[in-house]
Homo-oligomer: A and B are copies of this chain.
């Protein structure tokens, strides 16, 4: 039972990386829609089925780097310091995420995403799944049932903030502006807080 980096796992990771790199290179060079899966597979010297055994869909090749988005948001809720209120913690995390994807190194990829309707649609759908995870984390943190409406609402508002801020002329200012609105919305939501949560009122 050798646990760490076996050759098999290394080879698998290498293949995956090779596919992702090849795909991104071709996409950036000639446009996402102009490059087919068969071509990516040929250029990476793998079979088409191998591509789909590593990535769920063609769009997923582009969002490979974006993997930890969901975890970061959830952790911003669960791992925050005691007595730290919820919304500011999320605001800080969204700030970091927006800053990251508007940086110069990520700009070409982002331009490609905006240019392709298929990629935009895929991302939106992905973000909605993230919103569900975030809602669950928030509800758990407050000791509320997982599908509480106010928690789901705030979670979606936070995702909206991320999406809208990126498209704004001044992303950083937009984050603050939208989070002022979210803060106000959360203040009036006041979900009945349970007793199995973290115990201290730091909403």
A residues neighboring B (CB under 8 Å): 121, 124-125, 128, 149-150, 152-154, 156-157, 160-161, 163-165, 168, 174, 177-178, 180-189
Could you list 15 examples of A-B contacts with CB < 8 Å? A121-B121, A124-B125, A149-B164, A149-B168, A149-B174, A153-B160, A153-B164, A154-B181, A156-B160, A156-B163, A180-B188, A181-B186, A181-B188, A184-B184, A184-B185
Question: Which of B125, B178, B186 is within 8 Å of A153, CB to CB?
Answer: B178
Copies of this chain: 2
Distance, CA A184 to CA B187, complexed state (A)? 8
B residues less than 8 Å from A165 (CB atoms)? 149
Question: Which of B160, B174, B180, B188 is within 8 Å of A157, CB to CB?
Answer: B160
B153:A181 contact, CB within 8 angstroms: yes
Distance, CA A59 to CA B155, complexed state (A)? 27
Give the secondary structure class of A's interface: helix
Distance, CA A150 to CA B165, complexed state (A)? 11
B residues less than 8 Å from A152 (CB atoms)? 164
Question: Which of B150, B164, B178, B180 is within 8 Å of A181, CB to CB?
Answer: B150
Additional 13 contacts, C-beta under 8 A, given A150-B181, A181-B189? A124-B125, A125-B125, A150-B177, A153-B164, A156-B160, A156-B163, A157-B157, A157-B185, A160-B160, A180-B189, A181-B185, A184-B185, A185-B185
Distance, CA A154 to CA B153, complexed state (A)? 13
Distance, CA A85 to CA B121, complexed state (A)? 33
- Which partner residue on chain B sits nearest A148 by CB separation? B168
A72 to chain B, nearest CB (A): 21
| A184/B188 contact (C-beta < 8 A), A149-B174, A152-B164, A160-B160 known | yes
